Amino acid sequence: MANINVENVSKLIPTLGDDKIDMIAATSVLQIRASEIRQTQINWQSYLQSQMITQRDHDYIVNLDQRGQKNLPDQNPETCADVFLNLITHISKDNTIQYILVLIDDILSEDKSRVKIFRESRHGSVWQPFLNLLNRQDEFVQHMTARIIAKLACWHSSLMEKSDLHFYLSWLKDQLKMNNNDYIQSVARCLQMMLRVDEYRFAFLSVDGISTLLSILASRVNFQVQYQLVFCLWVLTFNPLLAEKMNKFNAIPILADILSDSVKEKVTRIVLAVFRNLIEKPEDHQVAKEHCIAMVQCKVLKQLSILEQKRSDDEDIMNDVDFLNERLQASVQDLSSFDQYATEVKSGRLEWSPVHKSAKFWRENAARLNERGQELLRTLVHLLEKSRDPVVLAVACYDVGEYVRHYPRGKHIIEQLGGKQRVMYLLSHEDPNVRYEALLAVQKLMVHNWEYLGKQLEKEQIDKQTGGTAVGAKA
C-alpha cells in the first residue's frame, strides 16, 4: 500500500484554523441529527439474547456506551475494531446502526490517531463493511458513514486502495448531483478533507469530479455550499498539473461570476485564493498567462477595483487583491489584439469589443483562426449551436462572416465545420440583431462564392486565349 508523506502534504497546503475552513456549519443536518441520536438508548441485551452479537461484543459496547469507560478504544484497539466491525456487519436495524456510527465518529473525533484502530486491525481491509453502508436506504447512515470513511482515508499514512477510492469518490460525486440533497454540506465536507491529499485529487478528476463541482457552482447554490465547493477547487489547484487543467472546465468564468455576486467575505476570500493559485501554481508560464487574460476577459479587474475601494480588514483578501491586480494589469500591457480576441472566444462570452469591428484586425489575423487545429473556429461554431445569449450569437455570426471575407478558403472550412448550417438556422432566430448578423454572414458566404466563381471563369478565358495563341503559333 502506498504511503503519504505527511510532511510534504502539510507544506503543500497552508495550515488553516477550523474557523477558516468551516469544518462543519453549525446548521449541518448531519450534526443536528447526530446530536439527537446520542440521546437515544440502545437495548444491547436484546441483541445478546437473540444471539445477534456475542457476549464479548455485548460486554465491550455496554462498558463503552453505558458505563462511561471512554478509554477502552486505546486500552485494547484490536477488540475495539473487532467489536464495531462485527456490529455494523451483523445488525440490520437502522436506528441501532445510526447509533453505532455516531459512536465511531465520536471515538475518531476525540483523537485523530485512533484511525489506526480500524486501519491496522486484523480484519484486513476495513473499507468493505463501511462502503456497504453507503448502499443503505437510510440517509443518515449513508452520510455518517461517508464522514467516517473520509477520516479513515485522510488521517492515516496509508492511502485508500484504488478500487475502493473510486467507488467512494463516485458516490460523493453522485450525491452532489442529487436534487434537494439535505446532506450536501456533509458531502462537500468529505471532499474538503479528501482533496487535501494529493494522490486523491487525480482519482477525483478521473470520476469527472471537477466538472461536477463547477456545474453545481454555475447553478447558484447557497453561500455555505458555494464556499465549500470553491474550497475544494482551491485545494485541487495546489497541484500544478490540475491548476493548468482547471480552466479547461470553464472555471474562471464561473468563479468570476461568483466573485461578482458574492456578499460573504469568506466566499470572496476563497475565490481570490483560487485565482492566485491559477496564476502561481502552473509550471507552464504560457498557461499562467492565459489564465491572467481569461480573468481580464471575465471582468475580474473591475471586481478587484471594487474590493480595493472597500479595503477589507481581512489581510488574506487584500494580499490576494494586490497580487492579482499587479499580475492582471501586467498581462493587459503585454496583450496583443489577437490574444484578446482568442481569450474572449475561449471564454464563450463574446461581446462587441473593438477587435470584432476592426478591418485591420481581420486583415492581419483571419488566417490565425486556423491555428491549433482551427480551435477558435470550432469554438465559434460550438457557440452558434449551444449559446442562448443573443449577443454571443450575433457576434459569432459577424466573426464567421469576417473570417470568410478575409480568408480565401474560409467558406470551405466553415462549411466543413458545420458553421454555414448553424448561421442559416439563425436566420429565423427570435432576436432581430441575431437575424440581422446571420443574414450578413450568409451574404458574405454567398458573395465569396460568386467572387470565387468569377475568378475561375476569368482564369478559364485567359487559359483559352493563351491556348489559342499557342496553337496558332505552332501552325
Mean pLDDT of 230-242: 97
Please provide the DSSP assignment of 409-434 as one string. Answer: THHHHHHHTTHHHHHHHGGG-SSHHH
Query: By the 8 A CB rule, do 344 and 297 touch?
Result: yes
Predicted confidence (pLDDT) at residue 23 exceeds the cutoff of 50: no
Q: Is the pLDDT at 5 greater than 70, yes or no?
A: no
As given in the structure block, the three cell numbers for residue 129 are 463493511
Rounded to 10 degrees, the C-alpha dihedral 286/289/290/292 comes to 160
pLDDT of amino acid 474:
41
Residue-averaged pLDDT of the chain: 86
Residue 397 and residue 438 in contact, taking contact as beta carbons nearer than 8 Å: yes
Average pLDDT of the segment spanning 61-81: 86
Give strand pairing partners of 3: 158
3-state secondary structure 70-89: CCHHHHCHHHHHHHHHHHHH
Q: Nearest-CA neighbor of 28 among 266, 228, 262? A: 228
pLDDT-derived band at 104, boundaries 50, 70, 90: very high
Angle at 457 between CA 453 and CA 461, to 5 degrees: 170
How large is the average pLDDT for residues 150-166?
94
In single-letter form, the type of residue at position 269 comes to R
Please give the angle made by the CA atoms of 228, 225 and 265, to the nearest 5 degrees: 70
Question: Residue type at 362?
Answer: W
DSSP-based three-state secondary structure for 324: helix
- Euclidean distance between CA atoms 348 and 366, whole angstroms: 19
Measure the N-to-C terminal CA separation of the chain; round to a whole number of Å: 91
In contact, 440 and 397? CB cutoff 8 Å? yes
Angstrom distance (rounded) from CA 328 to CA 319: 14
Helices 198-206 and 184-194 pack at an angle, to 10 degrees, of 130
Could you tell me what percent of the chain has a pLDDT over 90? 64
- Tell me phi and psi for residue 158, to 5 degrees: -90, 135
How crowded is the C-beta side of 313, counted as CA atoms within 13 Å?
A: 0
- Give the residues across from 158 on adjacent strands: 3
Determine contact, residues 187/213, Cβ cutoff 8 Å: no
Name the burial class of residue 141, with classes exposed (0-12), middle (13-18) and buried (19+) by CB atoms within 10 angstroms of its CB: buried
**Residue 87 · residue 100 · CB < 8 Å:** yes
Say if CB 196 and CB 9 are below 8 A apart.
yes
CATH of domain 352-462: 1.25.40.150
Is pLDDT of 24 > 50?
Answer: no
Q: What pLDDT is stored for residue 401 in this prediction?
A: 93
Find the length of the chain: 475
206-223 exposure pattern, b = at least 16 Cβ within 10 A, e = fewer: ebebbebbbebbeeebee
pLDDT tens, position by position, 355-399: 898 888 999 999 999 998 999 999 999 999 999 999 999 999 999
Report which residue type is found at 137: Q
- Return the H-helix or E-strand segment holding 111: none
pLDDT at 466 over 80: no
- pLDDT tens profile 179-227: 889 999 999 999 999 999 999 999 999 999 999 999 999 987 889 999 9
Answer yes or no: are the C-beta atoms of 9 and 156 closer than 8 Å: no
Grid coordinates representing 291? 489564465
Closest CA to 350 of 338, 361, 341, 360: 341
Amino acid 115: pLDDT: 93
The rounded distance, in Å, linking the Cα atoms of 411 and 71 is: 78
